[in-house]
Amino acid sequence: MTINNDVHLYANRQIGTQVGNGECFTLADTALRQAGAKSATDYGRITGNANYRWGNPVTLRTIIPGDIIQFRNYLMTVTTVTVTRVETGGGGFSEQTNTQTQTQSRPHHTAIVNNVGTNGEVSVLEQNVGTGPNRRRTQCNTLYFQSFTAPARVSRHGNTTVTVSRRVRVSGRIWFYRPQSR
């Protein structure tokens, strides 16, 4: 098995559990060490505010499961607009617009790539995110790493037309790393 596979499998087995002290760093550090890979301590000084290096730099286009992501001031905003238009006959209509906005932030954070989707969508394994009593447990979340506006989806049912549009905005600094053997 490759190092990436070992990191990926280890992190997946931890879903729902707390690794070490529950810090994001601890999940990545432990997964790498379990896989026989170098960790951030092999690349530089570890401080509470450092931009950690976890291996060889790679790009969003080349990431694979088991790669490590380092975040700085990351903010993802997903805005979904749903317009429902009902034809009332004789050229008349009624229209309702519903806008939903979801934000996620990672001010200073580390995660492990779980799966790679399209449009910069990545499933990550991470801990110490969100709020509540389970925030320090390993969880799987979907994040975006590039901004885009999706083509509107239109569906028609009888006299009702529903148009859904979605815009994703991403800001902050993000580094991707491929684990390296000791």
CA–CA separation, 182 and 174 (whole Å): 24
Give the pLDDT confidence of 109-161 residue by residue, as tens digits. Answer: 999 999 999 888 999 999 999 888 899 999 999 999 999 999 999 999 999 99
pTM, two decimals, is: 0.92
The Cα–Cα gap between 79 and 95 comes to: 19
